[in-house]
Amino acid sequence: MAGALPTTALPGVLPADAARRPGHNTWVSAIVRWLFIAVSLAFLAALLIAPLATVFAMALARGFEVYLTSFADPDTLAAIRLTLINAAVVVPVNTVFGLAAAWAIAKFEFRGKSVLITLIDLPLAISPVISGMVFVLLFGLHGWFGVWLQEHDISIIFALPGIMLATMFVTFPYVARELIPLMQQLGNDEEEAAITLGAGGWMTFFRVTLPKIRWGLLYGVILCNARAMGEFGAVSVVSGHIRGLTNTMPLHIEILYNEYNFVGAFAVASLLTMLAGLTLVVKNLVERTGYRGR
Amino acid sequence: MSFRKPSVLPGFGLTFGFTTFFLSAIVLLPLAALVLAAASMHWSEFVQVVTSPRALGSYRLSFGASLLAATINVVFGFILAWTLVRYEFPGRKLIDALIDMPFALPTAVSGIALTTVFAQHGWIGRYLEPLGIKVAYTWLGVTLALTLISMPFAVRSLQPALLEVQRELEDAAETLGANRFYAFRRIILPTVLPALLTGFTLSFARAVGEYGSVIFIAGNLPMKTEITPLLIVIHLEQFDYRGAAALGVVMLLISFAVLLTINLLQAWGRRRHVQAAH
């Protein structure tokens, strides 16, 4: 979405003199103020806080022990394992890509740069179903390479490689779009000084650039990881939903939910919700270090 | 003019090469495959697939619910952003952090949680049921799910814009006798208009392609509560790749149109910003 996703919380912004301004301490402004706060809280309570609380209420509906035993189910364990393996491959690959893209875009001026940035953001604007479908069209049984792959006994769709490709497509921009504005904002002076003084490229990157961007990088990686573990639509299209084999955690939630195994479904959901919470905590810690992204 | 400006920094060839290679391999070539798959269809066949009554019904729901969700988000997003920017109250920082939750939360989780809350016996659904309002398994539920997942886009677009509203102008207007609503209409609204439209468009873009959260809360009945991405999945499950690709191209074109709109809106916002500074 073309550099258009502002995800940064705002600093404390309230001017201390707000209440002392002329005409600002009337009863009308007090009513407006409380009305706005009440509407905001009610909106968030219904739409966000109630569903979040429901996840844990449903997961613990039959007590803590049942909650814990639901993780002993072999299919659930297989789903957790697959999700971890998938993220363990996808996140590092996208991190390397993000670093490379940010270096090329932030450190150099070249023609077509804005086109490149838009293309990197492209997966954010595309329906996850389409992100998965493109790989089915390429590698599915009736896809372009389907027959060739079958002759050589290689399975991509309905198998781990397809899941990884679809996840990679969806989470492709996250590290890059955290790093590009950060590195642009930090400028090139220190790197140029290091190079001029005789440091090599890699040494400059590891000793000069990396320490400067480490918090932004950390947030990008954490966010990429949360999206990789939680992706549903794209993975759903390529996975084939084979229990214990190609079900990631979100897909396993769907199966358990459709089987009316609500404790099981919400137990897995609670893990992903905690991951999302952790992601937001890291985001706020990173912002407290002084770095503000977009 | 050469392709790039000279620089003492090394690594352009390596990083630029890797970036474009990886981008092409993972994103651009697969998307090209989609377009080619649809292009291999005969034009009449393509038109037949994308204008079938079931497809039209799915567009109606996908676009209608997404437009409605984006509208709700702009209205409540404005109130939320205003509250977070202008007022101090206990828990403000926590609320501000929570705004990003739908962005980090997997869509399947939002889907089952929202369905449970708004189902007949759910925490909120049980109070709506006697009023005759059914949310789960209706278009209302679809709208609600889309509102939830696209909410951060509206709020986060509006917050920086509201920060830039010049309080002095507001004060001056009030001192000169303008009433609150006149000041709002003539000073605040023009300043935040680009952000408002950007927030709307971003919300819409995110909502129109959404799949995970919607399929749980929608009844998924053809013509009634079936969104376009679900129809694509149904085509794929029947190994009708070409039909799926045709619908995919329609959605892709819409995504591009929305992307273009966002870029134009942001350029407009920047221009206004520059003008205002002079």
A22 contacts B117? CB cut-off 8 A: no
B197-248 tens-digit pLDDT: 999 999 999 999 999 999 999 988 888 899 999 999 999 999 899 999 999 9
Contact residues for B94 (Cβ-Cβ < 8 A; gap 6+): none
Q: Which pLDDT score, from 0 to 100, does residue A82 have?
A: 96
Check: CB of residue A280 under 8 Å from CB of residue A217. no
- Binning pLDDT at 50, 70 and 90, where does residue B68 land? very high
CA gap B240, A263 in Å, rounded: 36
CA gap A8, A11 in Å, rounded: 9
Q: Which pLDDT score, from 0 to 100, does residue A46 have?
A: 93
A residues 134-173 near B, CB within 8 Å?
A: 134-138, 140-144, 165, 168-169, 172
A residues 43-82 near B, CB within 8 Å?
A: 43-44, 46-52, 54-55, 58
B4 contacts A7? CB cut-off 8 A: no
A residues 9-48 near B, CB within 8 Å?
A: 9-10, 12-15, 18, 21-23, 28, 32-33, 36-37, 39-41, 43-44, 46-48
CA gap A173, B19 in Å, rounded: 11
Residues of B with Cβ-Cβ distance to A96 under 8 angstroms: 18
CATH number at residue B81: 1.10.3720.10
A211-243 tens-digit pLDDT: 999 999 999 999 999 999 999 999 999 998 888
Residues of B with Cβ-Cβ distance to A6 under 8 angstroms: 156-157, 159-160
Number of folded domains in chain B?
A: 1
> Whole-prediction pTM value?
0.89
Does B36 fall in a domain?
no
Contact of A274 with chain B, judged by CB distance below 8 Å, is answered with: no
Does B27 fall in a domain?
no
State the count of interchain CB pairs (< 8 A) between A and B: 329
- The runs of H, that is alpha helices, within chain B are 12-23, 29-39, 43-50, 53-86, 92-98, 101-104, 107-118, 125-128, 139-164, 167-175, 180-183, 189-208, 212-217, 228-237, 241-277
CA gap B242, B246 in Å, rounded: 6
Give which of A291, A270, A156 is closest to A220, Cα–Cα: A291
Does B245 fall in a domain?
yes
A165 contacts B26? CB cut-off 8 A: yes
CA gap A251, A265 in Å, rounded: 10
Domain that holds residue B249: 43-277
Residuewise pLDDT in 10s, chain A (294 residues)? 333 444 444 444 444 444 445 555 578 788 889 999 999 999 999 999 999 999 999 999 999 999 999 999 999 999 999 999 999 999 999 999 999 999 999 999 999 998 999 899 999 989 999 999 999 999 988 888 888 898 898 889 999 999 999 999 999 999 999 999 999 998 899 999 999 999 999 999 999 999 999 999 999 999 999 999 999 999 999 998 888 889 999 999 999 999 999 999 999 999 999 999 999 999 988 888 765 544
Contact residues for B46 (Cβ-Cβ < 8 A; gap 6+): B38, B246
Topology (CATH) of A62-288: MetI-like fold (1.10.3720)
Does B253 fall in a domain?
yes
Q: Report DSSP state, residue A101.
A: H
Q: Which helix (H) or strand (E) holds B226?
A: none
Query: Where are the domains positioned within chain A?
Result: 17-59, 62-288
A residues 105-134 near B, CB within 8 Å?
A: 105, 107-111, 116, 118-120, 122-123, 125-130, 133-134
Does B34 fall in a domain?
no
Q: Which residues of A21-30 are buried (b: 16+ CB within 10 A; e: fewer)?
A: eeebeeeeee
What distances in angstroms separate CA A287 from CA A129, A208, A281, one per listed residue?
33, 21, 10
